[in-house]
Amino acid sequence: MRLKSLLAAGAVVVIAGSALPAAAQGTLDQIVERGEVNCGVTTGLAGFSNPDSEGNWTGLDADICRAVAAAILGDAEAVNFVPATAQQRFQVLQSGEVDLLSRVTTWTLTRDTSLGLNFAPTTFYDGQGFMIPKDLGVTSAMELDGATVCVQPGTTTELNLADFFRANDMEFEPVVIEQLDEVNAAYFSGRCDVYTTDASGLAATRASVAENPDDHIILPELISKEPLSPAVRQGDDQFLDIVKWVVYALIEAEEYGVNSENVDDLLENSSNPVVRRLLGASDELGGHLGLSNEWAYNAIKQVGNYGEIFERNVGSETPLNLERGYNDLWTRGGLMYAMPVR
Partner 1 sequence: MADQTLHRTVERAAREDGDAPVVQPPATRSGVIGWLKGNLFNTWYNSVITLVLLYLLLQIIPGLIDWLLLSAVWEPATAEVCRAASGACWAFIHEKYRLILFGTYPYSEQWRPTLAVALFLGMILASCNRHFWKPWLALAWAIVLLICGTLMYGGVLGLTQVPTTRWGGLPLTLMLATFGLAVGFPLGIIMALGRRSHLPVVRLLSVAYIEIIRGVPLITVLFMASVMFPLFLPQGVSVNNLLRAQAGIILFAAAYLAEVVRGGLQAIPKGQYEAADSLGLTYWQATRLIILPQALRISIPPLVNTFIGMFKDTSLVIIVGLLDLVGSAKAALTDPAWRGFYRESYFFIAVIYFVFCFSMSKYSQHLEKRLNAGTRR
CA separation, residue 124 to residues 228, 229, 268 (Å):
5, 7, 32
**Backbone phi, psi, residue 232, to 5°:** -130, 170
Site string for partner 1, 204-243 (x = CB under 8 A): x---xx----------------------------------
- Is residue 94 a contact point for partner 1 (CB under 8 A)? yes
Site string for partner 1, 313-342 (x = CB under 8 A): -----xxx----------------------
Asked if 99 and 38 count as a contact pair (C-beta separation under 8 A), the reply is yes
Distance CA 82, CA 43 (A): 9
Q: Got the DSSP string for 48-111?
A: TBEE-TTS-EESHHHHHHHHHHHHHHS-TT-EEEEE--TTTHHHHHHTTS-SEE-SS-B--HHH
Distance CA 149, CA 226 (A): 19
- Least distance in angstroms from the C-beta of 85 to partner 1: 5
- Is residue 20 a contact point for partner 1 (CB under 8 A)? yes
Q: Which residues pair with 271 in a beta bridge?
A: none
- Is residue 1 a contact point for partner 1 (CB under 8 A)? no
- Least distance in angstroms from the C-beta of 22 to partner 1: 8
- Least distance in angstroms from the C-beta of 284 to partner 1: 32
Answer for which of 32, 170, 185, 274 binds partner 1 (CB under 8 A) is 185
Distance CA 196, CA 158 (A): 9
Distance CA 266, CA 269 (A): 5
List binders of partner 1 among 44-83 (CB under 8 A). Answer: 44-47, 50-57, 80-83
Helix (H/G/I), strand (E/B), else coil: 172: strand
- Least distance in angstroms from the C-beta of 71 to partner 1: 22
- Is residue 84 a contact point for partner 1 (CB under 8 A)? yes
Helix (H/G/I), strand (E/B), else coil: 140: coil
Q: Which is nearer to partner 1, 80 or 260 (CB)?
A: 80
Q: Got the DSSP string for 291-314?
A: S-TTHHHHHHHHH--HHHHHHHHT
Size of the site for partner 1 (CB under 8 A): 46
- Least distance in angstroms from the C-beta of 342 to partner 1: 36
Answer for which of 21, 146, 153, 257 binds partner 1 (CB under 8 A) is 21
Closest-CA residue to 124 (of 45, 187, 39) = 45
Asked if 98 and 69 count as a contact pair (C-beta separation under 8 A), the reply is no
Applying CB under 8 A, the span of 89-97, 143-151, 237-245, 290-298 interacting with partner 1 comes to: 89-97
- Least distance in angstroms from the C-beta of 157 to partner 1: 18
Give residues in contact with partner 1 (CB under 8 A): 14, 17-23, 43-47, 50-57, 80-85, 87-88, 91-92, 94-97, 179-181, 184-185, 204, 208-209, 318-320
